[in-house]
Amino acid sequence: MIRLEPFERSDFAQLMAWIDSPTFMFQWGGQTFRYPLDERQLDHYLSDANTDEAQAFIYRVVLEESDEVIGHIHLQLDRLNQSARIGKVLVGKKSLRGQGIGQRMIQQVLTIAFDQLKLHKVSLGVIDFNQSAIACYEKAGFVKEGLIRDKRKMDGRYWNVWEMGLLEQEWFERMK
């Protein structure tokens, strides 16, 4: 139903259109970007990604039946520790949210991480009030490893972040 393809400069306009507020930008992009998202920031984001030796793999999510770009996901590598961090997960097309697309995105990026890159652990952080994302990650096998209180500050309010992780043996057990 979906496929992951390398994120390219031709995808910039679509991603910028999806990020429609400073709060959404902060929730999606954390400290990486400043609102409004622009080409300069995205050029920097993409500059050392998507090559064989890259520390980051950045993907657009394509709906196979229409070849339409509907989302975005990022895998940041730590090759020394054989681990990675998933970030910038977005089902950009609002009409497709709540239909399991996020779950498929996570499954595909985990397949890359564990089956292709042979990593030991994949982690992520999620704002504690984003219950739909937490449910998606738990369904994929992620375990809450700890709550980091007051991790991020937005509009004078602090947000808590759940750190979640999945180990290679847990992944392979789930895939049996």
Q: What pLDDT does 125 receive? A: 96
Q: What is the average pLDDT score of the chain?
A: 96
- Say whether pLDDT at 30 is over 90: no
Count helices and strands in the chain by DSSP H and E runs: 6, 7
State how far the Cα of 139 lies from the Cα of 115, in Å rounded to an integer.
19
For the chain, how big is the Rg over CA atoms in Å? 16
CB 16 within 8 A of CB 73: no
**Entry pTM:** 0.95
pLDDT of residue 31: 84
Q: Identify the band that residue 9 occupies on the pLDDT scale cut at 50, 70 and 90.
A: very high
The burial class, CB within 10 Å (0-12 / 13-18 / 19+), for 30 is middle
pLDDT digits (tens, 9 = 90+) for 100-138: 999 999 999 999 999 999 999 999 999 999 999 999 999
Domains of the chain with CATH codes = 2-175 (3.40.630.30)
Percentages helix, strand, coil for the chain (3-state, rounded to 5) are 35, 35, 25
